[in-house]
Amino acid sequence: MIIRYQLSQLPSVDECLKSSCGQKWLDLFPRKIVLRAVREVIDSKRKEILNGAVSDVSIEALSHDMEQTIKKYFAYKLRPLINATGVVIHTNLGRSILSDRAVEHVTTTALSYSNLEYEITTGKRGKRYSHIQEIIRELTGAEDAVVVNNNAAAVLICLDTFAKGREVIVSRGELVEIGGSFRIPEVMKASGAVLREIGTTNKAHLADYENALCGNTALLLKVHQSNYRMIGFTEEVPIEKLVKIGKEYKIPVVADLGSGCMIDLKKYGVPGEPTVQEVVKTGADVVTFSGDKLLGGPQAGIIIGKEKFIQKVQKNPLLRAMRIDKMTLASLEATFMQYLDEEKALKEIPTLRMLTESADVIKKRARKIILSMKKDVSRHAELEVRADESQAGGGSLPEINFPTFVVSVKPLSISVNELEKRLRLSAPPVIARIKDDALLLDARTVQDGEIRDLVGCIIKAFQIKKLLSNKISPPLTGGD
Ligand SMILES: *Cc1c(COP(=O)(O)O)cnc(C)c1O
C-alpha cells in the first residue's frame, strides 16, 4: 500500500520542469541536459520505492539530486586541478602552466581577427611563423626559426626533410623513449629515414661516428638523454665534435634538446642542463626543443638553426600538417618575449618560478596551508611541515632533486589511501603522493591562489562520512 502511495506521489517530469527550480535550471542549462537529469532522478527514486526504501519524494526533496545531476552532465571533462605532487612539468597534468602574460595574449588573439597570415605594411599574404622569428633569433642567436605542434613533430619533420630514405647516425646511448609513444627508432622509421646505430649502450666514440659515415649518410643526430642519465663507465661525443666531423664531411648535424632550457639555471642552483644558446653556439645546423617543458610555454616544437636548413623545413609540405595554431603562437610569442628580461622571466613564467623558488618561500607556503586547516583537521590527522624533494618532471633534469617542503597529512580515522582517493575525487581534484603512511602535499607546485580551495578540499575529505550518514539530502543551495 505504502509503495503504491509513494509511487503516486512521485512528481512527473513536467511538474519538475514547471517548478521554480525547474524554471531556474531551464534558464541556466540546456533543456536536453535538464530533461535527462530530471528523468534520471525520478527513475532512480521509483526504483528505490519499489525496493522498499521509504523516502520523501516531493519536488523539494528531489531537487538537490536533480541539480547535482544537471551539474554533473553539464561539467567540462577537461578541468583544472591542484597539483600537489611537486612535479613541476607533470606530463599527465598538462606540463607547464602558462604565465599571465601568455594567457592575456592568447585571449586577445582568440577574441579578435589578427594578422596571423597577413602583412599589414604591404597588404599582402604573410607567414604565421614570421611573428616569432625575430624574437627567437634574438634570444637564441640562431639564424632562423620555425615552429610546429610539438617537439616530436619537430624531430619528425627534420628527419623527413633531411634524411628520407637515407641514413641517420645516432649513438645507441641516445635511442631514448620519452613517455611511451615517442621512441627515437620508431620516429625514425615513421619518417622514412634509416637508423644507423653506433657505439654501445654506455659508450660512443668519435671514431664510431666516422666509421659509420658512408655515401648514404644524411644526418648526424644528437638526442638529449632527457628522462635518464648514464653514470659510471660512460662516454658520449659532445655536439662540438659532431659539428666538426659534420663540417669535414658536409653532413648536417641536428640536436634534439628535448627540454630546451633558455636560462643558465646553474646560477640558481640547478646544474646539468646546457642552454639552447650554448648549443646554437656549437655550430649545430638545426636544434629542436619543446615549448612546454623548461621553456614554460604552450605545447609546441621549436626548430632553430642555419637559415639554409630552416628554409628547407619551411618548404616541406608536412609542415602544413603540423602547423601551429594562432592561440599557441600567441602564447609562445608572449612567453619568448618574457625572456628578454631574465629576472622577470624567472618570476613570471610559472615553470621557472617553481623550479627556482627558494626552500624558504616553499616552507612558508606549506606553513600557511597547515595554519589554514589546523583548526578543522587536527582532530582527524597528524599535520606537520616536512622537508622532502621534488622533481622537475617532463623528462627534464631527471637526476636532480629539488629540496622542498611538504605538508604531511597522516589521517587518524581513515586510511591514507582513502584520503588520497577522496582528494582526487574532490572539486577541484587534488593530486598528491603517499609516502610512509602519510599523504604529502608538496607546496612547490601548489599555487598561492589555490591554497583556499586546497584547504577546503582537505576539510571536506575528512567530513565525507558525516555527509554520507545524512539520510535526507540537504535542500537545494547550489551544492558544490
Ligand atoms: C620531450 C622530448 C621530445 C618530445 O617532445 P614533445 O614536445 O613532448 O613532443 C623529444 N625528444 C626529447 C629528447 C625529449 O625530451
pLDDT given for residue 179 in this prediction: 74
pTM of the entire predicted model: 0.92
Distance CA 351, CA 294 (A): 7
82-91+355-463 is classed in which CATH architecture? Alpha-Beta Complex (3.90)
| 3-state SS class at 387 | strand
Give the residue, out of 184, 290, 324, with the most ligand 1 atoms within 8 A of its beta carbon, to mutate for a pocket test. 290
Residue 428 preceded by cis peptide, ω within 30 = yes
Q: Is the CB of 182 under 6 A from ligand 1?
A: yes
Cα of 152 vs centre of ligand 1, distance in Å, is 6
Residue nearest to ligand 1 atom 14, measured at CA? 258
Residue nearest to ligand 1 atom 11, measured at CA? 258
Distance CA 199, CA 207 (A): 9
Residue nearest to ligand 1 atom 3, measured at CA? 258
Distance CA 269, CA 273 (A): 11
Residue 215: Cβ within 10 Å count: 6
What are the residue ranges spanned by the domains of the chain? Answer: 2-74, 82-91+355-463, 100-345
Tell me whether the CATH fold assigned to 82-91+355-463 matches the one assigned to 100-345.
no
Q: Which residue has the cell 583556499?
A: 452
Q: Which residues contact 347 (CB under 8 A, 6 or more apart)?
A: 353
Q: Is the CB of 178 under 6 A from ligand 1?
A: yes
pLDDT given for residue 295 in this prediction: 97
Give the residue, out of 157, 256, 261, 328, with the most ligand 1 atoms within 8 A of its beta carbon, to mutate for a pocket test. 256
Q: Is the CB of 224 under 6 A from ligand 1?
A: yes
pLDDT given for residue 180 in this prediction: 66
Cα of 217 vs centre of ligand 1, distance in Å, is 24
pLDDT given for residue 326 in this prediction: 98
pLDDT given for residue 376 in this prediction: 94
Cα of 282 vs centre of ligand 1, distance in Å, is 21
Q: Is the CB of 289 under 6 A from ligand 1?
A: no
Q: Which of 440, 393, 454, 439 is nearest to 97 (CA)?
A: 393
Q: Is the CB of 298 under 6 A from ligand 1?
A: no
Q: Is 103 exposed, middle or buried (0-12, 13-18, 19+ CB in 10 A)?
A: middle
Distance CA 409, CA 218 (A): 56
Name 383's bridge partners.
409
Q: Is the CB of 149 under 6 A from ligand 1?
A: no
Residue nearest to ligand 1 atom 12, measured at CA? 258
Q: What is the pLDDT of residues 439-451, one digit of tens each?
A: 999 999 999 999 9
Q: Is the CB of 365 under 6 A from ligand 1?
A: no
Nearest atom within ligand 1 for CA of residue 155: 10
The length of the chain in residues reads: 480
pLDDT tens, N- to C-terminus, the chain (480 residues): 688 888 999 999 999 999 999 999 999 999 999 999 999 999 999 999 999 886 788 999 999 999 999 999 999 999 999 999 999 999 999 999 999 999 999 999 999 999 999 999 999 999 999 999 999 999 999 999 999 999 999 999 999 999 999 999 999 999 999 876 789 999 999 999 999 999 999 999 999 999 999 999 999 999 998 888 888 999 999 999 999 999 999 999 999 999 989 999 988 888 878 999 999 999 999 999 999 999 999 999 999 999 999 999 999 999 999 999 999 999 999 999 999 999 999 999 999 999 999 999 999 999 999 999 999 999 999 999 999 999 999 888 888 889 999 999 999 999 999 999 999 999 999 999 999 999 999 999 999 999 999 999 999 999 854 444 444 444 333 333
Residue nearest to ligand 1 atom 5, measured at CA? 151
Q: Is the CB of 265 under 6 A from ligand 1?
A: no
Distance CA 275, CA 263 (A): 6
Q: Could you tell me which CATH class the domain 100-345 is placed in? A: alpha beta
What sign has the CA pseudo-torsion 197, 199, 203, 206? negative
Residue nearest to ligand 1 atom 6, measured at CA? 151
